[in-house]
Amino acid sequence: MGAVLAGGRSSRFGSDKARAMLDGRSLLEHAVAALGRQVETVAVCGRQVEGMIGLADRPAADMGPLGGLNAALHHARAQGYDAVLTTGCDVPAYPDGLAEALIGQGAAILKGQQLIGFWPASLAGELDAHLAEENNRSIRGWLERVGARIVERPEFVLPNINRPEDLERLTRPGRDGRQA
């Protein structure tokens, strides 16, 4: 199963970046289509979108990316999936070979892209416990807790759109929008 984490506030972007347009489609549509080539089904976490599986962040809204991941893990487990591949709504690409690089024993993320990851559905209860504790709910703290592998593959440096100028770079001819 795939999950696009799309519940963020887009504070650095200044508006809802999931709805920002790139080549005639929203960033969210790009992310869903790219991830959809790798998995059987894709859910959008943190919002409802007509025609797509939408999952509310769990256990509540405004929990950051871990709320969306938690919703995806519980949904995957309930639907009989063993794991979830994730991406952010601000990453409009998911190249061939990336899923294979991430899938393995335990959780894994792509170096420099903490929302692009592989998560066994069996981690749902552990994430419930993590979110119930007093902590800052950072993705880094969660990665440490579960001992996530960091996959370093230079060929998979992907565009990540945090600010309007990042999106502008993607629309210029000959530019790929990757972060330095």
- The fold adopted by the segment(s) 2-154 is Spore Coat Polysaccharide Biosynthesis Protein SpsA; Chain A (3.90.550)
Cα–Cα distance for residue pair 40/81, rounded to 1 Å: 10
Q: What are the 10-residue block averages of pLDDT along the chain, 180 residues in total?
A: 85 72 91 96 95 95 92 98 96 93 96 94 97 86 96 83 75 51
pTM: 0.88
